[in-house]
Amino acid sequence: MKHRAHMDGDVMISGIFPMYTLGIDHSNSHAARQEDNKLFIFKNYQYVLALAFAVEEINKSPDLLHNLTLGFDVYDVHFNAWTMLKNPFICLFGKYKIPNYSCMRGSSSIAVLTGPSGITSDQIGTLLGLYRFPQVWRLWSLPLPPPPQLQPRLLFTFGPFDHALSDHNKFPALYQMAPKDSSIATAMVSLLLHFSWSWVGLLTTQDDNGARILAELKVEMAKNRVCVAYELVISTQDVYNHIEVNHFINLSSASVLIIYGDNNSLMIFMVFIEQIIIHGKVCIMNSQWDFTLKRRYFMLGSLHVPLIFTHHHVDVSGFKDFVKAAKPSKYPEDIFLARLWFLSFNCSVSVSDCVIWDKCAHDASLNWLPGHIFDMTMSVDSYNIYNAVYAVAQALHEILLQQTEVQTMGNRKELPSSTQLHTFLKNNQFYSPIGNQVIWDKQRKLEPVYDILNIWNFPEGLELEVKVGKFAPHGNQLSLSEDMLEWSIETTETPHSVCSESCGPGFRKSPQEGKAACCFDCTPCSENEIANGTDMEQCVKCPDHQYANTHRTECPLRVASFLAFGDPLGMVLACMALCFSLLTAAVLWMFVKHQDTAIVKANNRALSYILLISLIFCFLCSLLFLGRPKTATCILQQITFGVVFTVAVSTVLAKTVTVVLAFKATSPGRRMRWLLVSGAPNFIIPICTLIQVTFCGLWLATSPPFVDTDAHSEHGHIIILCNKGSLTSFYCVLGYLGFLALSSFSVAFLARNLPDTFNEAKFLTFSMLVFCSVWLTFLPVYHSTKGNVMVAVEVFSILASGAGRLGCIFAPKCYILLLMPNRNSLHGFRDKRHSRRNKHT
């Protein structure tokens, strides 16, 4: 048998396929036996079957090539620098391998199929390009047509789309059957996002395709906030580079590795890596690698279940039946089928190139072979071969129809040349037999739908390909059946690949200096800020009417808060105000009842009434600070407070001045008696009150108090309070009260040593001392508190200062009125004074 697969036909198509690879595997009974140090690739034989199936289908079709038949020649191509072009030379020039001379003039092929490696297509395309013009015939200037082997042959590649092969200057008659991988980066990143893998390694080959896909992956990953843990570019020949790559992969914390390449470009890497276990990694690959070439499944334990993106295609009907019926007896000129049969079904030992079939099972079929050794389903590459054959057949058919309409040469039609075929294919679109459109222009190539395959290797050696998902580029729709996925041996859980664990709600991401964006620390949100999602870049501040809960995850509405009458503190203050008011009213009633007694008369009865009445209003005005603030109550709070307290303090001042004038007027030669008799001290009250009313009027005219809210003083509450409006006016009112209080205190202090029979200067001094002490303490405490406590401090100061005046001024008088009535007369005071003198003597 010749070292090829052959089928006669009027028009021949050549197939140059990688049927063998270098290396020996003694442990795999389904691999190959030693012959010329080559390893037969079982799965690649499907290329030959796809070619034969398409040719037979076309030859049987009544709608194509009525008077012509297709045939084919298939040769093996070695993925090795010095043997790659050996069989292509035989295909072009016959067994003598003399360039520009062929002994196969009558059966020269019109098109060549090759793949799946881009390197193989590049080398063969370059070889065919050398003979695209009849250069020798031009030199001889003979008017003869160029021989068939010098016509430009069409080259169809069925492997993955390679941008390097789209150079029409270098490859003018090359057609790529596979759709372009313009969306492979989007598809892979969509898978990363589905599993929340944000820390990923990249590994590509050192070629144009590797550089292009590496750049596309990095751009797509950056758009979706997926970080590159490392990027590795490997040489197909440098073994030391492979050692360094393996070491780098194992040391990285990234659990996911994207590998972009094909079988041939990464052959050496795979053969080397099969002896090294890469721990804890998951591979995402762009093409279907042939794992049957390995002595052991090199991804055992970690990469044993890779996820593979392959082009989606519809299975061609009839192909499985065709494969089942394929036998060496049916195709006697197919040495590859004979070798597959010989290796698989225990046939007798071969002698030279002859095979004896006596010991082979008569009913043997390819469907006996395990699925991981030989797949009965048409692969993507085989589907591209099928479409390429139909493209040639349809172009031939159209050209023949045109020739029939234009001219007829005797009883035989002129066979179309490769040039005519190339011209026709270049200017026309093509539809596959199952209706899929095939576009040659790389700018208009359709984006493919990707199937996602998972390799099951349990038990070890099964290597079953299972479709677990699909990616459609239109709309970037990813569908995945996670329950069908098999992960590593150690676990059934989905692998985890992140640089930093996600920041949960309540935390924000803080970038780590000098590292990728996926590497970060988790920082708690600040006060009144929340993060209600994971991995938030910034915390969100809650609006004023809301607050951040303790976990910093949500902003519930704040509860309106104010010093209400029903609150414990408000209730206590209100009770105190009412009690003091009632007590003051009782004192007033007592003074009115005993208005004719000496002690009431001696302390200026009218001023005492005014002071007691003003103190009642002082106590009652504190109630305006309780309850929900309103604009009216806010204004009344400060105005009432300022005016009433001014009346009270100015009354104390008038009483103090009256006491001083009373004692000064009794001295001989003094003119104070007129001031006392004329009632001049009584004018102090209206004058001082008028000044305070003026301040309050200016306050209301410029910036009156208003209702305000405080959302920061108490967590979870929004405090409704009265804003003072103009702080300057407020402090002017308070300062004026302080000035009156200090004046009263000063006058009373100077009069403290006057004869004490009718003198209340000491009591007035103590009352003003208490008053000033309360309000001096009020200022720092008031400014150091917030919210409802501020209101409580102000109310307490009002009550304390009023109680101080009530107690210091009127408590001694009430004591005499109630408990010492005998002293409430002029004789009583005289008897007390005589008893004291006698005691001293």
Q: Which residues contact 605 (CB under 8 A, 6 or more apart)?
A: 591, 595
With the C-alpha atoms ordered 801, 802, 805, 810, is the resulting torsion angle positive or negative? negative
Residue with the bigger pLDDT between 663 and 218: it is: 218
pLDDT (tens digit per residue) in 154-165: 788 888 888 778
Q: What is the CATH number of the domain that holds 297?
A: 3.40.50.2300
Average pLDDT, the chain: 77
Q: Which residues contact 20 (CB under 8 A, 6 or more apart)?
A: 38, 39, 40, 41, 76, 78
Paired sense of beta strands 507-511 and 520-524, if any: antiparallel
Q: Is residue 733 part of a domain?
A: yes
Q: What local confidence, expressed as pLDDT, does residue 409 receive?
A: 45
Report whether pLDDT(32) > 50. no
Q: Are residues 462 and 513 in the same domain?
A: no
pLDDT-derived band of residue 356, with 50, 70 and 90 as boundaries?
Answer: low
**Residue 714, amino acid:** E
Q: What local confidence, expressed as pLDDT, does residue 414 receive?
A: 66
pTM over 0.85: no
Closest CA to 211 of 160, 163, 255, 281: 163
For range 334-361, the mean pLDDT: 70
For range 142-163, the mean pLDDT: 62
Element holding 580 (H helix, E strand): helix 568-593
pLDDT-derived band of residue 49, with 50, 70 and 90 as boundaries?
Answer: very high
Q: What is the CATH number of the domain that holds 605?
A: 1.20.1070.10
Tell me the two tokens of residue 184: 């492979």
Residue 708: phi and psi, rounded to 5, are -135, 170
Q: Are residues 258 and 270 in the same domain?
A: yes
Residue bearing tokens 């390679």: 162
Closest CA to 762 of 835, 837, 660: 660
pLDDT-derived band of residue 181, with 50, 70 and 90 as boundaries?
Answer: confident
Q: Is residue 726 part of a domain?
A: yes
pLDDT (tens digit per residue) in 538-563: 999 988 888 888 889 988 888 888 88
Q: Are residues 383 and 272 in the same domain?
A: no
Q: What local confidence, expressed as pLDDT, does residue 423 receive?
A: 80
- CB-based contact 683:629 (threshold 8 Å): no
Q: Is residue 478 part of a domain?
A: yes
With the C-alpha atoms ordered 620, 626, 631, 637, is the resulting torsion angle positive or negative? positive
Tell me the two tokens of residue 64: 């194509």
Of how many residues is the chain composed?
841
Q: How far is CA 108 from CA 11, 72, 105, in A?
A: 8, 10, 6
pLDDT (tens digit per residue) in 666-691: 554 455 555 555 556 678 888 888 99
For range 604-627, the mean pLDDT: 88
Cα 227 to Cα 252: distance, rounded to the nearest angstrom: 13
Helix axes 788-805, 761-784, angle to 10 degrees: 180
Q: Is residue 597 part of a domain?
A: yes
Concatenated DSSP letters for 61-89? -TTS-TT--EEEEEEE--SSTTTTTHHHH
Percent of the chain with pLDDT strictly greater than 70: 73
- CB-based contact 612:591 (threshold 8 Å): yes
Q: What local confidence, expressed as pLDDT, does residue 413 receive?
A: 52
For range 275-280, the mean pLDDT: 57
- CB-based contact 1:353 (threshold 8 Å): yes
Last residue of a domain, one of 535, 557, 579: 557
Name the residue range of residue 209's domain.
184-285+289-314+449-484
How many independent structural domains does the chain possess?
Answer: 4
Cα 620 to Cα 557: distance, rounded to the nearest angstrom: 34
Q: What is the CATH number of the domain that holds 538?
A: 2.10.50
**End-to-end C-alpha distance for the chain, whole angstroms:** 160
- Strand arrangement, sheet containing 154-157: 5-7, 70-76, 11-17, 109-114, 154-157, 174-176
Cα 329 to Cα 579: distance, rounded to the nearest angstrom: 122
Q: What local confidence, expressed as pLDDT, does residue 80 receive?
A: 54
Bridge partners (DSSP) of residue 466 are: 454
Most confident of 64-68, 96-100, 371-375, 797-801: 797-801
- CB-based contact 65:403 (threshold 8 Å): no
pLDDT (tens digit per residue) in 482-526: 888 877 656 677 888 888 888 899 999 998 888 888 899 999 999
Q: Are residues 173 and 190 in the same domain?
A: no
Q: What local confidence, expressed as pLDDT, does residue 407 receive?
A: 57
Q: Is residue 808 part of a domain?
A: yes
Element holding 529 (H helix, E strand): strand 529-530
Q: Are residues 532 and 549 in the same domain?
A: yes
Q: Are residues 524 and 609 in the same domain?
A: no
For range 355-373, the mean pLDDT: 74
Q: Are residues 194 and 60 in the same domain?
A: no
Q: Are residues 453 and 587 in the same domain?
A: no
Q: Is residue 744 part of a domain?
A: yes
The angle at the Cα of 271, spanning 268 to 273, to the nearest 5 degrees, equals 105
Within 666-713, residue ranges assigned H as helices are: 672-678, 684-702
pLDDT (tens digit per residue) in 409-432: 444 556 777 778 888 887 777 777
pLDDT (tens digit per residue) in 627-660: 888 888 888 888 888 899 889 888 888 877 777 6
pLDDT-derived band of residue 34, with 50, 70 and 90 as boundaries?
Answer: very low
Closest CA to 725 of 706, 753, 746, 747: 706
Report whether pLDDT(57) > 80. yes
Q: What local confidence, expressed as pLDDT, does residue 444 receive?
A: 52
DSSP 494: P
pLDDT (tens digit per residue) in 775-785: 888 888 888 88
For 607-612, the CB contacts below 8 A with 24+ separation are 607/651, 607/654, 607/655, 607/658, 607/681, 607/682, 608/655, 608/810, 610/647, 610/651, 610/685, 611/648, 611/651, 611/652, 611/655, 611/805, 611/809, 612/584, 612/585, 612/587, 612/588, 612/810
Q: Is residue 344 part of a domain?
A: no
Range name among 27-36, 90-99, 356-365, 386-395 with the lowest pLDDT average: 27-36
Last residue of a domain, one of 557, 577, 603: 557
pLDDT-derived band of residue 199, with 50, 70 and 90 as boundaries?
Answer: very high
pLDDT (tens digit per residue) in 312-346: 877 888 999 999 999 888 888 888 888 888 888 77
pLDDT (tens digit per residue) in 786-829: 778 888 888 898 899 888 888 888 888 888 888 877 766 655 54
Cα 396 to Cα 286: distance, rounded to the nearest angstrom: 34
Report whether pLDDT(770) > 50. yes
Range name among 25-39, 219-233, 612-626, 804-818 with the lowest pLDDT average: 25-39
Report whether pLDDT(298) > 50. no
Q: What local confidence, expressed as pLDDT, does residue 24 receive?
A: 43
Q: Are residues 626 and 603 in the same domain?
A: yes
Q: Are residues 430 and 522 in the same domain?
A: no
- CB-based contact 456:486 (threshold 8 Å): yes
Residue 365: phi and psi, rounded to 5, are -150, 155
Report whether pLDDT(726) > 90. no
Q: Are residues 689 and 772 in the same domain?
A: yes
Q: What local confidence, expressed as pLDDT, does residue 765 receive?
A: 78
Report whether pLDDT(102) > 60. no
Bridge partners (DSSP) of residue 39 are: 21
For range 613-625, the mean pLDDT: 90
Q: Are residues 456 and 514 in the same domain?
A: no
Most confident of 51-60, 364-373, 603-612, 670-679: 51-60
Report whether pLDDT(25) > 60. no
DSSP 820: -
Cα 88 to Cα 15: distance, rounded to the nearest angstrom: 9
With the C-alpha atoms ordered 123, 127, 133, 138, is the resulting torsion angle positive or negative? positive
Most confident of 17-21, 94-98, 445-449: 17-21
DSSP 536: B
Q: Is residue 147 part of a domain?
A: yes
